[in-house]
Amino acid sequence: MASSNLLEWPEAIVPVQTLSGSGMSTVPQKYIKPPSERPSGSTNDPNLRIPVIDLACFSNAPDHHQALLEAVADACKDWGFFQVVNHDVDIEVVKRMRGAWREFFDLPMEEKKVYANLPVTYEGYGSRLGVEKEAILDWSDYYFLNLFPRDIRNLDKWPKIPTDLRETTEKYACQLISLCQVLLKAMSSSLGLEEDYLHSAFGGSDGISATMRANYYPRCPQPELTLGLSSHSDPGGFTLLLTDDNVEGTQVRKGDSWVTVQPVPGSFLVNIGDQIQVITVD
Report residues of the chain scoring pLDDT below 50: 1-3, 281-282
Q: Sheet holding 238-241: strands in order across? A: 52-54, 81-85, 268-272, 238-241
CA distance 26 to 228: 16
CA distance 109 to 116: 10
The b-or-e profile of 179-212 (16+ CB within 10 A means b, else e) is bbbebbbbbbbbbeeebebbbeebeeeeebebeb
Using CA atoms in the order 65, 68, 69, 74, what is the torsion angle rounded to 10 degrees?
160
What are the backbone angles phi and psi of residue 124, rounded to the nearest 5°? 120, -160
CA distance 154 to 95: 25
CA distance 9 to 187: 39
CA distance 24 to 54: 44
Q: Residue 35: CB partners within 8 Å, gap ≥ 6?
A: none
Q: What is the pLDDT of residue 56?
A: 85
Give 191-199's long-range contacts (Cβ < 8 A, gap of 24+): 191/73, 198/237, 198/276
State pLDDT tens for residues 57-75: 766 667 778 888 999 999 9
Q: What is the pLDDT of residue 44?
A: 63
CA distance 13 to 128: 8
